Amino acid sequence: MKKRVILMGPPGGGKGTQAVTLKEAMKVPHISTGDMLRAARKAGTELGKKADAYISAGQLVPDELVNGIVAERLAQENDGFLLDGYPRTVAQADALEAAGQAIDAVVLIDVPDELIVSRIVGRVSCPGCGCVYHKETMPPKTDGICDKCGGTLVQRNDDREDVVRERLAAYHKQTQPLVDYYGKRGLLVTVNGNASVDEVFDQIRKVLEF
Ligand code: AP5
């Protein structure tokens, strides 16, 4: 049986960056609620239209909207997953538990607030394969083009400094209580996210024992 893992951490903490290599190493699907909501917004679905205002303002999308899409997605998985960006509130964690989704580990990538804004405002990512870059610290080989798949790199519209500060506030208020929630269940493992991408990956590999 493959592992069922939750990746947790502040916005810009490196969840998406680590997920690209982790999903291959663990041979499990990467399920990112941020990606799912952005895809819904791009497709112009009802959910996407409702989510847009929250995402653009740096606020969390209401639990009932997110719980529905995750439950539907997880119903298709029976052999491990890497959940990125969910759960993000105690109500979402309760919904996941109530759905009978047993979790093997919750990996918290811990990064101090002062690093977050510069990491996010410099980020560009590939909508095709999910690879993440930073214009200054981790640039692609060719400006604007993904090294891995040749796709055109984009900047997210919620990656403005004022919105990032809102996202960070939402993280502290609504998501950090999950540290206690999963700590009490003996599932939480914390890695130091203020290290190189390879070093963070190595820490995760060790705590997940693969
Ligand atoms: P989501 O897409 O989940 O965004 P997030 O959690 O804010 O996280 P990010 O994607 O910004 O950062 P990351 O941790 O993946 O960092 P990354 O690897 O890219 O959510 C977006 C919005 O959708 C939310 O605000 C909310 O509105 C909504 N939403 C989503 N899920 C929801 C839910 N469950 N409930 C309600 N609403 C929900 O790295 C960032 C930058 O840092 C990059 O430039 C990268 O190159 C660089 N970097 C990465 N690792 C390192 C390192 N080790 N050292 C130096 N730089 C690094």
Mutation test of ligand 1: which of 134, 157, 162, 173 has the most ligand atoms closer than 8 Å to its C-beta? 134
d(CA 97, CA 105): 13
Q: What is the mean pLDDT of residues 64-72?
A: 96
Residue nearest ligand 1's atom 56 by CA: 119
- What is the Å distance from ligand 1's center to 92 Cα? 18
Buried b (16+ CB within 10 A) or exposed e, 100-135: ebebebbbbbebeeeebbebbbbbbbbbeebbbbbe
d(CA 204, CA 189): 9
Helices 161-170 and 113-121 pack at an angle, to 10 degrees, of 140
Say yes or no to pLDDT of 36 above 90.
yes
pLDDT band at 47 (very low <50, low <70, confident <90, very high): very high
What residues are in contact with ligand 1 under a 6 Å CB criterion? 9, 11-17, 33-34, 37, 54-55, 58-61, 66, 85-86, 88, 92, 119-120, 122-123, 132-134, 137-138, 158, 167, 195-197, 200
- Amino acid type, 144: G
For residue 138, what are the β-bridge partners?
134
Give phi and psi for 168, each to the nearest 5.
-65, -40
Q: What is the mean pLDDT of residues 34-59?
A: 96
Look at residue 1 in the predicted model and tell me its pLDDT: 80
Say yes or no to pLDDT of 210 above 90.
no
Tokens read off for 80: 């491990």
Look at residue 78 in the predicted model and tell me its pLDDT: 85
Say yes or no to pLDDT of 4 above 90.
yes
State whether residue 109 is helix, strand or coil.
Answer: strand
- What is the Å distance from ligand 1's center to 183 Cα? 22
Mutation test of ligand 1: which of 6, 15, 17, 69 has the most ligand atoms closer than 8 Å to its C-beta? 17
For the residues of 124-147, what is the DSSP string, one character each? EE-TTT--EEETTTB--SSTTB-T
- Render pLDDT for 149-207 as a digit per residue (tens, 0 to 9): 999 999 999 999 999 999 999 999 999 999 999 999 999 999 999 999 999 999 999 99
Within 10 A of 33 (CB to CB), how many other CB atoms are there?
Answer: 22
Say yes or no to pLDDT of 60 above 90.
yes
Phi/psi region, residue 192 (left: phi>0; alpha: psi -120 to 50; beta: rest), is beta
d(CA 201, CA 7): 12
Give the pTM. 0.96
- Render pLDDT for 92-149 as a digit per residue (tens, 0 to 9): 999 999 999 899 999 999 999 999 999 999 999 998 898 999 999 999 999 999 999 9
